[in-house]
Amino acid sequence: MTTPPPPPPRNPSPDAIPGTAPDASEHPSPDVPPDRRGGARRRGSAPPREDVLEAAMGMIAERGLEKLTMAALGREVGMSSGHLLYYFRSKDELLLRTLEWSEGRLGAERARLLTRPGTVRERLAAYVDLYVPDGHRDPHWTLWLEVWNRSQNADDDARDRQAAIEGAWHRDLVALLAEGVSKGEFRAVDPDRFGARLRALLDGFSIHVAIGLRGTDRARILAHVREFLDESLG
């Protein structure tokens, strides 16, 4: 039986993970690139939550999801796997939190794109461009697929959080479509219904790109979507 990790400090930093890092003599701190986390962390302190999630996303991008284990992530951030499990409870929770962190960054980028000057059609194209994966093994989509695959046994809290991720994308798309219809840039459609169908199309194509299905590269998929939008919205 694995010895449970020690309890968190009584007064932890608000953005730090509960529990202290393992003794440096047993688990040497990894070299931390200054441009990744702002310099090496003070030995013996718990890393900020965002550092752990950023490190997890970086490992997915650089090594693939299959290499992201609690032990490997612990070595990356200078913590024991026990401490990580104490905080995240399970790998499922770690993956969902990492996805939420990544979605937060995408949400900020999406907000900038959707409020920039230009026509509604141009902003819709920017939305689609941000939605579709960069290519095979796109790290965000790789993580998204894994979280959804694991969601078959997810509890209500996890399902609510996943729904919140999807809801943010849907609301922004519906707002764009409604604006385009009101300004006469788009043919009259029901924004909510059309948005649901468009996102289903984007999800299907995006999965093909992310898994590397032959004949479904990013450029070809974007061309398909542009053609669909031109035919449907005028």
CATH superfamily of 34-88: Homeodomain-like (1.10.10.60)
Burial code (b: 16+ CB inside 10 Å, e: under 16) for 140-175 equals: bbbbbbbbeeeeeebeeebeebbeebeebbbebbbe
The rounded distance, in Å, linking the Cα atoms of 4 and 9 is 15
Sketch the domain layout of the chain as residue ranges.
34-88, 91-233
Interval 13-43: pLDDT, tens: 334 444 333 333 333 333 333 333 333 344 4
Contact at 8 Å (CB) between 65 and 102? Answer: no
Interval 75-117: pLDDT, tens: 999 998 888 988 898 999 999 999 999 999 999 999 999 999 9
The rounded distance, in Å, linking the Cα atoms of 64 and 143 is 10
Q: What is the pTM of this model?
A: 0.77
* pLDDT at residue 22, rounded to an integer: 35
The domains spanning 34-88 and 91-233 adopt the same CATH topology: no
Multiple choice CATH, 91-233, 3.90.226.10, 3.40.50.720, 1.10.357.10, 3.40.50.1000: 1.10.357.10
The rounded distance, in Å, linking the Cα atoms of 74 and 69 is 8
Interval 167-193: pLDDT, tens: 999 999 999 999 999 999 999 999 999
